Structure 1
Amino acid sequence: MPGNTNMSIRVDSELKHQAEQILSQFGMNMTGAVNMFLQQIVRERAVPLSLSLDSSRAVYADLLAAQTDRAQGYTGRESEEVLADMRDLIEKAGQNG
């Protein structure tokens, strides 16, 4: 059975502070976030980052798509429906893993 190990990394103090504030809004801490990141690397066998020199285009494209969806009457999904879909995906991932 694998045990826990300590990691030591250097991070800009302001960046760390800002990240901790955001993570706390999700009820998470830095350790949990780093563990999730590492688990995703192992699961996907890839680094889960989207690297781009101009990410503003992707954000702008997403905003335009959302605006078009709303104009066509899309009002979103109920949170319980989203959570049920997430539970199904987690269950399926567990069966395949």
Structure 2
Amino acid sequence: MTMTSVTVRVDDATKKQATDIVEDLGLDLSSVTRAFYRQIVRENRIPLSLSRQPIPAETLDALDEVREKAETWR
């Protein structure tokens, strides 16, 4: 299968935010773009809804606590 490149122009802030989200899902922007194209072809429409779940407040609090303790250990 022959591959081709696609260039997308987007502002830095949007790219950073999108990168953060897809990396939280264990992916990269290229993989998501390929999946998006394949799904468009497969479903003959513009689909694809990927989302990440918000981190619970308790988890964020625990992470903050660990960071604070780690600072005292240095």
Structure-1-length-normalised TM-score: 0.47
**Post-superposition shift, 1:7?**
1.1
Count the aligned residue pairs.
Answer: 49
Tell me if structure 1 keeps the 8 A contact 2:39–2:48.
Answer: no
1:35 aligns with 2:34: yes
Tell me, in whole angstroms, the C-alpha distance in 2 between the residues paired with 1:19 and 1:45: 24
% identical equivalent positions: 37
Report the RMSD for the aligned CA atoms in angstroms: 1.6
**Post-superposition shift, 1:44?**
0.2
Change (3 A) 1:36 1:5: same
Higher relative contact order (CA 8 A, sep 6+): 2
**Structure 1 residue ranges (4+ consecutive) displaced by more than 2 angstroms after TM superposition:** none
Q: What's 2:3 paired with?
A: 4
Written as runs of structure 1 = structure 2, the 5 A alignment for 1:1-97 is 2-48=1-47
Q: List runs of 5+ in structure 1 lacking aligned partners.
A: 51-97
